[in-house]
Structure 1
Amino acid sequence: MSVADYMTKKLVVVHPETTVSVAVDLMRTNDIHRLPVMDGNQLVGLVTQGIISRALPSTATSLSVYETNYLLTKATVANIMTTNVQTINATDQLEDAIYQMRQHKIGVLPVMHAHQIVGIITNNDILAAFLNITGYGEATVISRVVIQHDHPGVIFKIGQVLAEHDLSIETLMVVRRQNQRIIELHITGDQVEKVQSVLTTAGFELE
């Protein structure tokens, strides 16, 4: 599961001299919340809805309307963008992106390849990836196999037992719970009873 598999490849970018009002319009038109800032082919910054909101004057200021209009129409992205941009390589694993976002408390990472930006991955992309990986929305039922003492070959054994009875798994996930391992099998609804029966007979504990 590489970052390249789940990143957004369609990039909407701005330049340092782009006005804040144009940046806001681009976000609204494309239904996005972040824009990479490019100087030629080089990534030089990032501007987000949050950055723009923090740059706007307080509504408690009597001149705020005029100040806001000035900021939006005269100020450029270069005036407010962050230049300390965290990035990730397209070949990195999805979990690397998740870890980096958590470490830096951010929701977006421009994706790089050969020192060039090739995409962007956001927390929404990662949530969509999770739904894809788990097969969410497909007509499947989850059977949970409890492994009290994990050891090599457990998943292979489960697959072997099911294959011997011509049963298949749509998706599989491993959940860590203290000293246990819970293996979630996503299987088609018409095979549930047979899968559970076969696994129980083979000595596996079902939850």
Structure 2
Amino acid sequence: MFVANRMTKNPTVVTPDTGIDTAARLMKKGHFRRLPVVEDGKLVGFLNDKDIMRVSPSPATTLSRYEVTTLLSKLKVSDIMQVNVISVGEDATIEEAALLMYKEKVGGLPVVSSVGAVVGIITETDIFKTFVDVMALEEGRTRFTIDTEDKVGVVAVIAGVFADSGYSIDSLVTCRQPTGRYEIVVRTSVTDDAKIAALTKAIEDKGYKVIHTAKIG
């Protein structure tokens, strides 16, 4: 799954000469929190609502609305934008974008093409939505959590149990625990309690402990 398929395409952009008041109005009208800043078709900065809040007068100010508007109109995007912009390519995977956002502690990234043009924005909401879609959470699934040691062939054995029982696996993820052991998380469309119990027994008959089951969605 790639960033290009999950990003907001053709985002609203501003230039370094755009007034802060104009940028603020664009954000409010579009209900978004971030604006790529472009010049000559290339990404040169990034502006978010926190940048604007940082230079806006306090709510306790004695300035009139007109004075506040006048003050902001004198500031340009170039005065407050982030210039060391962290971006991601449109051909990057969603995992790469998620890891970059996690490491850099940012809630969104501009997405650029191979020639440096801004083609989209990927945000934490897009990442969350991807997670929900990949796990098919909205469709109703049963989640099996299986404790196992790290050894070759475990996934094949677990998958074999589901196949032998006549059930498909919708998603399977392995998670390393601090103890060094692993949890295998399997999601399947099986929701009948008796069938869930039978699958649990079949897995445990193979020597693996089912530590949790849950119906989600």
TM-score, with structure 2 as normaliser: 0.84
State the superposition RMSD in angstroms.
Answer: 2.2
Unmatched 5+ stretches in structure 1: none
- For residues 34-73 of structure 1, the aligned pairs below 5 Å read 34-59=34-59, 61-63=61-63, 65=65, 67-73=67-73
| Letter of the structure 2 residue corresponding to residue 16 of structure 1 | P
1:20 equivalenced with 2:24 (yes/no): no
| Letter of the structure 1 residue corresponding to residue 40 of structure 2 | G
What's the CA shift string for 1:117-154, capped at 9, x where partnerless?
2211112222222222222222111111110x211221
Query: C-alpha separation between the residues in 1 aligned to 2:60 and 2:162?
Result: 67
1:30 equivalenced with 2:34 (yes/no): no
Query: C-alpha separation between the residues in 1 aligned to 2:103 and 2:209?
Result: 37
Instruction: Count residues with an aligned counterpart.
Output: 206
- For residues 125-140 of structure 1, the aligned pairs below 5 Å read 125-140=126-141
In structure 2, the residue matched to 1:146 is 147
Query: C-alpha separation between the residues in 2 aligned to 1:81 and 1:139?
Result: 43
Contact kept in structure 2, 1:17 and 1:78, CA below 8 Å: yes
Q: CA deviation at 1:185?
A: 1.3
Contact kept in structure 2, 1:58 and 1:64, CA below 8 Å: no
In structure 2, the residue matched to 1:3 is 3
TM-score, with structure 1 as normaliser: 0.87
In structure 2, the residue matched to 1:103 is 103
Q: Which of 201, 204, 217 is the matching residue for 1:200?
A: 204
In structure 1, the residue matched to 2:214 is none
Closer, same or farther: CA 25–62 of 1 in aligned 2, 3 Å: closer
Q: CA deviation at 1:35?
A: 0.5
| Letter of the structure 1 residue corresponding to residue 171 of structure 2 | T
Task: Name the % identity.
Answer: 33
Q: CA deviation at 1:63?
A: 4.1
In structure 2, the residue matched to 1:184 is 185
Contact kept in structure 1, 2:146 and 2:183, CA below 8 Å: yes
Unmatched 5+ stretches in structure 2: 212-217
Query: C-alpha separation between the residues in 2 aligned to 1:76 and 1:97?
Result: 29
